[in-house]
Amino acid sequence: MDTALKYLTGRARTVREVEYHLDSCHYAEYDVYATVERLKELDYLNDAKYAKEFIETRLATKPISKRRLFEQLLKHEIDTDIIKEALLLIDDETEQNNAIATAEKFYAQFADRDEKQRKDRTASRLKSRGYDYSTIRIAMEKVSNSVEFNIDDSSEDYYE
């Protein structure tokens, strides 16, 4: 328990992260299980709370799409149902506003480029943050008063 509590002191962790850490310290499987269950009872480990806080923090520091957030939370080995529930915090309007804010930032950064390159690069950055084509299209229309740009539209919303 002491090892787990020390590990949780630095920052919030997921259940799997704590299990991996305790496994790496060569604790018996039963001890790991018992410790994790006790930490859950005490609410020191809560994947749903972790996912919500992760999303809030991520959107406050570097807005990205729901899809990208889903991928990042999957890497923390959180159950997909918990992730989907946490992503309900982000409605379509918030997603679109985040895309527009991101587009404005990159559109301004590429001011030294010709207009076509500026639009293409901005749209490409939005795509790299996981926004879908229709969201990118609306954001580009807002920032450049035009929607002509080139990006590959092969992405899928597989988290739904």
CATH number for the domain harbouring residue 110: 1.10.10
Tens of pLDDT, residues 60-98: 998 899 999 999 999 999 999 999 999 999 999 999 999
Residue 155 lies in a domain: no
Residue 83 lies in a domain: yes
pLDDT at residue 62, as a whole number? 87
Residue 158 lies in a domain: no
Residue 110 lies in a domain: yes
Same domain, 80 and 108: no
Residue 33: which domain range? Answer: 2-41
Does the predicted TM-score (pTM) go above 0.95? Answer: no
User: Is there a contact between 144 and 107 (Cβ–Cβ < 8 Å)?
Assistant: yes
Name the region of 69 (left: φ>0; alpha: ψ -120 to 50; beta: rest). Answer: alpha
Same domain, 114 and 132: yes
Same domain, 35 and 54: no
Decide which of 115 and 160 is more confident: 115
- Report, as an integer, the average pLDDT of 17-39: 95
What is the total count of domains within the chain?
3
Residue 108 lies in a domain: yes
User: Is there a contact between 99 and 136 (Cβ–Cβ < 8 Å)?
Assistant: yes
Residue 77, token pair as written in the block: 């080995």
pLDDT at residue 145, as a whole number? 73
